[in-house]
Amino acid sequence: MRFNLLLLFAPLSGALPLLPTSLFGLASWDVEGFARDNPLGPTTGGKGGSTVTVSTVADFKAAVTGDEPKIVLVNGELDFPSRPKIGSNKSVIGVGKTAQITGSGLDIVNATNVIIQNLKISFILDNDCITIRNSTRVWVDHNEFTSDISKGPDEYDGQVDIIRGSDWITVSWNYFHDHWKSSLVGNDANFRDIDFGHLHVTYHHNHWRNEGTRGPAGRFGHQHVYNNLYEDFLYQAIHSRSDNQVLVEGNVFRGKTREALSTYGLVIPEDSPNTCVCGDEELDGFANLGARNDWGGATVNITQVGDFVKAPYKYKLTPLLLVSPLVKFGAGVGKI
């Protein structure tokens, strides 16, 4: 049926410049949101630079260092003994369905214009799978992030954490599953002055399944969260606190998802049990609702409505009834 149209795209998928820009006209397949439309210019990664294929840790580290534009294709599994730092103007793209990162995760620090695509990043024990710190224009697209939820919230850290005044980021078409703390935006109430007015992040067409908290959790910034599928997001999916603003639209919540959206400042004990058993109190955040969401059986607690009523860019909104099949079909690795 309609989805067979993708077969037409398949022969093109090795050649990046020829990638389709839209999935059946129902969603953007190209960079969309804050990573595309922002005051610094669109995120292009290593476009225009040389292409290098790497299959060892040493070659990877050499290839991603520095600011020179480069497209770094990752072949097979890389087990990092420490966290590589991705420099500016880089596209880091997994080859096929088997490119993966284990051991230590990736740092994007003091950088601009970085694309991370088609990588499975799993069981990272040293820190987050990806930490974006003091960096701008980052597109995290079509990756898979997973570990094991049975060991509690503090066994593993975040999947994609965005901190220290980072800005103009899009997180799209990722498959986040079997992990507790997903995506924290602004990781410390003490960094209010650094973070405030930054942390503009677009989350769209991500598939979250069997996760605990932070889908995402934001402080001090603005996140546009649309057309994501949440299945069994156990404790709290979207959390906006400490004067953060979210615009939430066209998302679908299913299964054992307890709380879809909250702006209540309490950091629930299921999120950070290492502080107080009763949870930590912060200031409330703000939330606005755009196109209709399907909350399933999950609760919504909006304590303050903000002024983030409309995204400052054009974007393709998928009809609500098609969000679940389209996200299941398109999210994760081996799709581009």
What's the closest the beta carbon of residue 323 comes to ligand NAG, in angstroms?
A: 25
**Interaction with ligand NAG in 124-183: which residues (CB under 6 A)?**
134
Q: Which of 13, 55, 210, 301 binds ligand NAG (CB under 6 A)?
A: 301
Smallest distance from the beta carbon of 109 to ligand NAG, in angstroms? 4
* Active site (annotated) includes residue 83: no
**The one catalytic residue among 214, 219, 241, 258:** 214
For ligand NAG, the binding residue among 67, 148, 188, 281 (CB under 6 A) is 67
Which of 28, 38, 89, 318 lies at the binding interface for ligand NAG (CB under 6 A)?
89
User: Which residue among 52, 109, 189, 322 contacts ligand NAG (CB under 6 A)?
Assistant: 109
Select from 28, 112, 187, 202 the one that contacts ligand NAG (CB under 6 A): 112
Q: Which of residues 230-269 bind ligand NAG (CB under 6 A)?
A: 264
Q: How far is the CB of 130 from ligand NAG (least distance, A)?
A: 14
Please, which residue, 158 or 330, has the CB nearer to ligand NAG?
A: 158
Instruction: Give a three-class secondary structure readout of the chain.
Output: CHHHHHHHHHHHCCCHHHCCCEECCCEECCCCCCCCCCCCCCCCCCCCCEEEEECCHHHHHHHHCCCCCEEEEECCEEEECCCCECCCCEEEEECCCCCEEEECCEEEECCEEEEEECCEEECCCCCCCEEEECCEEEEEECCEEECCHHHCCCCCCCCEEEECCCEEEEEECCEEEEEEECCEECCCHHHHHHHCCCCEEEEECCEEEEEEECCCEEECCEEEEECCEEEEECCCCEEEECCCEEEEECCEEECCCCEEEECCCCECCCCCCCCCCCCECCCECEEEECCCCECCCCEEECCCCCCCCCCCCCCCCCCHHHHHHHHHHHCCCCCC
Least Cβ distance, residue 274 to ligand NAG (angstroms): 20
Task: Determine the interface stretch with ligand NAG among 75-83, 109-117, 174-182, 272-280 (rule: CB under 6 A).
Answer: 109-117
Instruction: Please give the size of the binding site for ligand NAG, defined by CB under 6 A.
Output: 12
Give catalytic residue positions.
214
- Which residues contribute to the site for ligand NAG (CB under 6 A)? 67, 69, 85, 88-89, 109-110, 112, 134, 264, 301, 303
